[in-house]
């Protein structure tokens, strides 16, 4: 084990790559939970984004249409969640689970029907690397930041914008009011239902971008269940980041770093003991449990998170 | 706490409607994807019930589904949402696999009870973590059980790939060593009756578990208290029941049922633990519990239905060349319709039928 393995440019670049899909899901989680709706279907939204982006890329060979199709597929799944949980006040955990299973079934079914056992085609357009002028040439920094996908930068830009929106604008304040005390928000004339619908739809689109990143920027193909629980790690990053975009970014980077280490440390040992790299992957979950339990600072969820709202006018 | 509902919306009607709606939408989906829905469902039913062997295969799948369903249901009855049945099942399987292999030389009369105990206790301990965090720190059990589900997956990767449970002779899929003969649940269908059947004595354990579930909830004072907490924690606290203490206990019981499911898969079906061991039974269990309305009979029937879906789906893919993932789509719609039961309730209210408390 060397310092290069722990802090080299390769590990840090991998950290950013691995953090990006988690971050997109976490940002989706932040916006929906801040409005008072739990969405554990982020995993499903990611999977929808991953498949339908590849599918559209195959049919149209247009990168723009592929990204749009992926995002729309995630928004569609989220719309079902909004319909059930906001309009019909269904149990949000149950509908979320149902939609995760639906997304897994639907994408795997279509993958089998359309691409059979051969897999998705190899000649699809992929999301390009976006070198930042001036950065790529620098030593070390250039190696870490110089060859990152355009979607990595988008994720960071969205993080900043969402942070400003939620905590520095009036509409963001209203959205948080709906998540903390919907009745009071309703009384002062904020449309609770509309706010929650938009937040849930946005969460689906954001999570789907994480899926689009996985299939269109990293893999260049779709395989069944390729998100592999990253939507749930996103949920963990949201909680660990205390329901804020910047916090989610930091949490995603920590989790991404753990992932990157588990790759570079594979097969290495300290003395005679092989490093159990798989245990590094438990870090996001264990840290999150500690965080919600208040052992490492206290994470508090929005007060009305997960509770359906019924307007008194009904 | 529950809303008043029309009489016709009670009993088994909503579960039956949700399954029918799901099958219809599934058929529509098959049609839209250019396949023949009738051929699909014929192949599915034939695969699940077409021969005595198929029936026993359906039951082999229904066994862990029943137990995991009981796990989710006992928590639901106390007002807790156990999404962690999957993780508890895996912990139970690992413990059973470890004990079954480590003490593999012992005779069945000793080893089998030890293996059962290992699976149940490990699952119970894992479940109790979520209950304890809820009772002492007020942590939402949905969050903890989701996190615990994923934690055990990676611990399992380590144990089976290059950890203490890794078998030296495991080629291909990382796996643990084979358990001793004394830890194996015997096949209960004679080979002359149904050749090659895998139906094992875990069926009897599952039946015992269903009876225990019923007895515990409806024939003991503890069960009465648990249901009271589930129906209204505040009223229960007024009556002198401490909801916090019950939470740890009920999550341990829930974990015990799920751990037994994992143990049965090891002792009855695979005789070792391997990576990718469970087909997500712990997640299907949520649908099983809800479809079965958290009742012993309902859960058993729902588990058999889902067992039939899964077994039939495999055959449907090989015979009719329609992806077995159709089954997941149908399952998801069942769950979605049940969750959106308020739609049905709203319709019932509008029809003006006499309302009655549930």
Sequence spans of domains, chain B: 36-321
pLDDT value at residue A1:
62
Look at B142 and A93 and tell me if their CB atoms are within 8 Å.
yes
pLDDT value at residue B169:
60
CATH topology of domain B36-321: ABC transporter involved in vitamin B12 uptake, BtuC (1.10.3470)
Upper half-sphere CA count for residue A80 (Cβ side, 13 Å): 26
Structure tokens at B183: 């830890």
**Contact residues, chain A, for B81 at CB < 8 Å:** 93
ipTM of the complex: 0.89
Is residue B37 within 8 Å of B25, Cβ to Cβ? no
Look at B332 and A292 and tell me if their CB atoms are within 8 Å.
no
Residue pointed to by tokens 């051969």 = A118
Look at B33 and A113 and tell me if their CB atoms are within 8 Å.
yes
Q: How far apart are CA A262 and CA B93, in angstroms?
A: 25
**Contact residues, chain A, for B148 at CB < 8 Å:** 285, 289
Q: How far apart are CA B14 and CA A214, in angstroms?
A: 39
Alpha helices, H only, chain A: 3-7, 9-34, 42-60, 63-82, 92-110, 141-145, 150-168, 170-180, 182-187, 192-212, 230-240, 245-264, 277-280, 283-292
Q: Tally the residues of chain B.
A: 358
Q: Which H or E run includes B5?
A: strand B5-6
Nearest one of A130, A2, A107, A12 to A55, comparing CA atoms: A107
Phi, psi of A273, rounded to the nearest 5 degrees:
-95, 120
Structure tokens at A299: 């994470």
Q: Which residues of chain B have pLDDT under 70?
A: 1-10, 168-171, 342-358
| Residues B59/B61/B64/B69 CA torsion (nearest 10 deg) | -90
Which own/partner contact pairs does A273-279 have at CB distance under 8 Å and 24+ positions apart? Answer: A274/B162, A275/A1, A276/B158, A276/B162, A276/B163, A278/B154, A278/B155, A278/B157, A278/B158, A278/B161, A279/B154, A279/B155, A279/B158
Look at B81 and A93 and tell me if their CB atoms are within 8 Å.
yes
Which of A22, A43, A87, A97 best probes binding to B when mutated, by most B CB atoms within 10 angstroms? A97
Nearest one of B316, B277, B284 to B303, comparing CA atoms: B284
pLDDT value at residue A263:
84
- B222-240 confidence digits (pLDDT tens): 999 999 888 888 888 888 8
Q: List the single residue in B150, B158, B336 with the smallest CB-CB distance to A95.
A: B336
DSSP state of B18: H
Q: Dihedral sign, CA of B94, B99, B104, B109?
A: negative
Structure tokens at A222: 């779709």
Phi, psi of A225, rounded to the nearest 5 degrees:
55, 40
Which of A47, A86, A101, A108 best probes binding to B when mutated, by most B CB atoms within 10 angstroms? A101
Nearest one of A109, A98, A110 to A40, comparing CA atoms: A98
Structure tokens at A169: 């604008």
Which of A113, A223, A307 best probes binding to B when mutated, by most B CB atoms within 10 angstroms? A113
**Contact residues, chain A, for B75 at CB < 8 Å:** none
In A, what residues contact B, Cβ < 8 A? 38, 40, 80, 84, 88-91, 93-95, 97-99, 101-102, 104-106, 108-110, 112-113, 229, 232-233, 235-236, 239, 274, 276, 278-279, 281-282, 284-286, 288-289, 292-294, 301
Look at A104 and B339 and tell me if their CB atoms are within 8 Å.
no
Compute the nearest-CA separation of A150 from chain B (Å). 30
- Residue that wins the pLDDT comparison between A235 and B233: A235
Nearest one of A162, A150, A180, A148 to A249, comparing CA atoms: A162
pLDDT value at residue A56:
97
- A96-147 confidence digits (pLDDT tens): 999 999 999 999 999 999 998 888 998 899 998 988 877 777 777 888 888 8
Q: Which H or E run includes A273?
A: strand A273-274
At A302, the pLDDT band (50, 70, 90 cuts) reads confident
**pLDDT surpasses 50 at A180:** yes
Q: Which pTM was predicted?
A: 0.92
Q: Which residues contact A42 (CB under 8 A, 6 or more apart)?
A: A25, A28, A29, A203, A207, A231, A232, A234, A235
Q: Dihedral sign, CA of B136, B137, B143, B146?
A: negative
Look at A101 and B328 and tell me if their CB atoms are within 8 Å.
yes
Phi, psi of A313, rounded to the nearest 5 degrees:
-65, -15
Q: How far apart are CA A180 and CA A190, in angstroms?
A: 13
The CA-atom distances, in angstroms, between B166 and each of A73, B38, B97, B259 are: 41, 46, 11, 21
Kindly report the CATH class assigned to A3-292: mainly alpha
- A68-93 confidence digits (pLDDT tens): 999 999 999 999 999 999 998 888 99
**Contact residues, chain A, for B328 at CB < 8 Å:** 101-102, 104-105, 108-109
């Amino acid at each position: 084990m060397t310092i290069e393995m722990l802090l080299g440019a390769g590990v840090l670049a991998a950290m950013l790559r691995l953090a990006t899909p988690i971050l997109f899901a976490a940002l989706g989680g932040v916006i929906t939970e801040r409005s008072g709706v739990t969405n554990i279907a982020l995993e499903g939204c990611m999977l929808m984004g991953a498949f339908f982006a590849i599918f559209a890329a195959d049919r149209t060979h247009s990168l723009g249409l592929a990204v749009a199709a992926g995002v729309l597929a995630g928004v569609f799944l989220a719309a079902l969640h909004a319909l059930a949980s906001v309009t019909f006040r269904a149990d949000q955990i149950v509908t979320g689970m149902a939609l995760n299973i639906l997304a897994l079934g639907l994408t795997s079914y279509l993958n089998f029907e359309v691409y059979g056992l051969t897999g998705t085609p190899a000649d699809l357009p992929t999301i390009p690397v976006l070198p930042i002028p001036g950065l790529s040439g620098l030593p070390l920094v250039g190696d870490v930041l110089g060859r990152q996908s355009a979607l990595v930068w988008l994720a960071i830009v969205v993080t900043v914008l969402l942070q400003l929106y939620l905590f520095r604008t009036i509409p963001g304040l209203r959205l948080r009011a709906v998540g903390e005390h919907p009745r009071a928000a309703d009384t002062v004339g904020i449309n609770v239902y509309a706010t929650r619908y938009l937040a849930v739809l946005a969460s689906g689109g954001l999570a789907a971008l994480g899926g689009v990143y996985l299939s269109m920027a990293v893999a260049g193909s779709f395989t069944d269940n390729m998100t592999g629980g990253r939507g749930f790690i996103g949920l963990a990053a949201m909680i660990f980041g205390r329901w804020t975009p910047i916090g989610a970014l930091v949490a995603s980077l920590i989790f991404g770093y753990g992932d990157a280490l588990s790759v570079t440390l594979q097969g290495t040992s300290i003395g005679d003991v092989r490093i159990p790299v798989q245990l590094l992957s438990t870090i996001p979950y264990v840290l999150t449990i500690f965080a919600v339990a208040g052992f490492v600072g206290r994470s508090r969820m929005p007060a009305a998170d997960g509770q359906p709202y019924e307007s008194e006018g009904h | 706490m529950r809303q008043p509902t029309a009489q016709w919306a009670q009993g088994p009607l909503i579960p039956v409607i949700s399954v029918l709606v799901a099958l219809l939408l599934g058929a529509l989906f098959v049609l839209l994807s250019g396949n023949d829905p009738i051929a699909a469902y014929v192949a599915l039913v034939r695969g699940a019930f077409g021969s005595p062997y198929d029936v026993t295969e359906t039951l082999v799948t229904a066994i862990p589904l029943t137990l995991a369903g009981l796990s989710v249901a006992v928590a639901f009855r106390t007002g807790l949402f156990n999404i962690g049945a999957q993780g508890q099942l895996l912990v139970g399987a690992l413990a059973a696999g470890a004990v079954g292999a480590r003490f593999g030389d012992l005779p069945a009369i000793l080893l089998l009870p030890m293996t059962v105990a290992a699976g149940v206790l490990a699952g119970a301990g894992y479940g109790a973590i979520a209950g304890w965090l809820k009772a002492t720190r007020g942590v939402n059990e949905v969050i903890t059980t989701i996190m615990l589900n994923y934690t055990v997956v990676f611990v399992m990767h380590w144990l089976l790939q290059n950890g203490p449970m890794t078998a030296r002779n495991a080629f291909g899929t990382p796996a643990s060593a084979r358990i001793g003969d004394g830890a194996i649940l015997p096949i209960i269908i004679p080979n002359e009756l149904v050749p090659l059947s895998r139906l094992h004595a875990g069926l009897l354990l599952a039946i015992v578990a269903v009876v225990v579930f019923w007895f515990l909830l409806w024939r003991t004072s503890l069960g009465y208290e648990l249901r009271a907490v589930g129906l209204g924690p505040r009223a229960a606290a007024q009556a002198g029941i401490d909801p916090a203490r019950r939470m740890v206990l009920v999550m341990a019981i829930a974990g015990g049922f799920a751990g037994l499911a994992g143990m049965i898969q090891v002792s009855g079906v695979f005789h070792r633990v391997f990576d990718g061991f469970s087909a997500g039974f712990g997640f299907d269990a949520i649908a099983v519990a809800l479809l079965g309305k958290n009742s012993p009979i309902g859960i058993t029937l729902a588990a058999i239905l889902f067992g039939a879906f899964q077994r039939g789906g495999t055959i449907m893919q090989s015979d009719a060349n329609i992806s077995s993932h159709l089954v997941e789509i149908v399952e998801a719609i069942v769950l979605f319709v049940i969750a959106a039961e308020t739609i049905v309730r709203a319709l019932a209210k509008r029809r003006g039928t006499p309302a009655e408390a549930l």
